Chains A and B, each alone.
Chain A
Amino acid sequence: MELQKFTYDNRLSRLFMNATIFWGLIGMVVGLTIALEMIFPHLSGGISWLSFGRLRPLHTNAVIFAFVGNGMFTGIYYSTPRLLKTPMFSEMLGKIHFWGWQLIIVAAAITLPLGITVGKEYAELEWPIDIAIALIWVVFGINLIMTMVKRRVKHIYVAIWFYIATFVTVAVLHIVNSISVPVSLLKSYPIYAGIQDALVQWWYGHNAVAFFLTTPYLGLMYYFLPKAANRPVYSYKLSIIHFWALIFLYIWAGPHHLLYSALPDWAQALGVVFSVMLIAPSWGGMINGLLTLRGAWDKVRESPVLKMFVVAITAYGMSTFEGPMLSLKSVNAISHFTDWTIAHVHIGALGWNGMLTFGMLYWLMPRLYNTKLYSIKMANAHFWLATTGMLFFAIPLYFAGFTQSLMWKEFTEEGYLQYPNFIETVVQILPMYYLRAFGGVLYLTGVVLMIINLIKTAKAGLFVVSEEDQAPALHTADGHGKEKGHRLVESKPILFTILVLIAILIGGIIEFVPMFMVKSNVPTIANVQPYTPLELQGRDIYLREGCYNCHSQMVRPFRSEVERYGDYTKAGETVYDHPFQFGSRRTGPDLARSGVKSGPMYKPDSWHYNHFLEPQKMVAQSIMPPYPWLIKNDLDISTTPRKIKVMQILGVPYPEGYADKANDDLKKQANKIAQGLRDGGIQVEDTKEVIALIAYIQRLGTDIYNTEGSKFSEK
Chain B
Amino acid sequence: MTTDKDHIKKSDAEYEIDTLTNKKLLKDHEYDGIRELDNQLPSWWKWLFIITIVFSVVYLIRLWVFRADDLIQRKEFDKEMANAKANAPKVETIEIALLTDATSLANGKETWTKICAVCHLVDGGGLVGPNMTDNYWIHGNTIEDLFNVTTTGVIEKGMISYKDQFSVRQRLEVTSYILTELVGSTPAVAKEPQGELYE
Contact = CB atoms under 8 A, between A and B. Distances in A.
A279 interface: yes
B38 A279 contact: no
A238 B44 CA distance: 13
Nearest to B62: A269
B126 to A, nearest CB: 11
B173 to A, nearest CB: 13
Interface in B118-140: 118-119, 122, 127-128
Interface in A399-453: 411-417, 420-421, 423-424
A233 interface: yes
Contact of B35 (A83, A233, A420, A423): A233
A470 to B, nearest CB: 13
Interface in A271-314: 272-274, 276-277, 279-281, 283-284, 287, 291, 294-296
A79 interface: yes
B104 to A, nearest CB: 15
Nearest to B153: A598
Given A557-B77, A619-B118, A287 B32 contact: no
B63 to A, nearest CB: 5
A100 interface: no
Nearest to A154: B28
A232 B76 contact: no
A421 B52 CA distance: 41
A85 B48 CA distance: 38
A226 to B, nearest CB: 5
B106 interface: no
B158 A610 contact: no
A603 B158 contact: yes
B115 A294 contact: no
B34 A223 contact: yes
A559 interface: yes
B185 interface: no
Given A79-B32, A416-B166, A283 B3 contact: no
B43 interface: no
Interface in B155-170: 155-158, 160-161, 164-167, 170
Q: Is the interface of B mostly helix, strand, loop or mixed?
A: mixed
Given A223-B34, A280-B49, A414-B167, A559 B59 contact: no
A274 B56 CA distance: 8
Given A283-B48, A604-B128, A604-B157, A269 B37 contact: no
A99 interface: no
A568 B77 contact: yes
B25 to A, nearest CB: 6
A100 to B, nearest CB: 28
A421 B114 contact: yes
B59 to A, nearest CB: 5
Contacts, number: 192
B64 interface: yes
A230 B18 CA distance: 12
A164 B167 CA distance: 62
A266 B45 contact: no
B60 A269 contact: yes
Contacts of A605: 158
B155 A602 contact: yes
Contact of B25 (A232, A237, A559, A619): A232
B32 A276 contact: no
Max chain B CB contacts within 10 Å: which of A223, A265, A563, A568? Answer: A265
B4 A231 contact: yes
Interface string A528-569: 000000000000000000000000000001110011000010
B38 A236 contact: yes
B37 A607 contact: no
B118 A232 contact: no
A176 interface: no
B103 interface: no
A598 B155 contact: yes
B53 interface: yes
A607 B158 contact: yes
A245 B74 CA distance: 33
Nearest to A417: B165
25 contacts: A83-B31, A227-B1, A232-B3, A232-B25, A232-B34, A235-B36, A236-B26, A269-B59, A269-B64, A272-B59, A276-B56, A281-B49, A414-B89, A415-B88, A416-B167, A416-B170, A420-B165, A559-B81, A597-B155, A597-B156, A603-B158, A604-B157, A606-B128, A606-B158, A618-B119
4 nearest CB pairs, A to B: A604-B158, A295-B20, A273-B56, A280-B49
Interface of A: 79, 82-83, 85, 153, 155, 157, 159, 222-223, 226-227, 230-239, 241, 245, 260, 265-266, 268-270, 272-274, 276-277, 279-281, 283-284, 287, 291, 294-296, 411-417, 420-421, 423-424, 557-559, 562-563, 568, 597-600, 602-607, 610, 617-620, 680
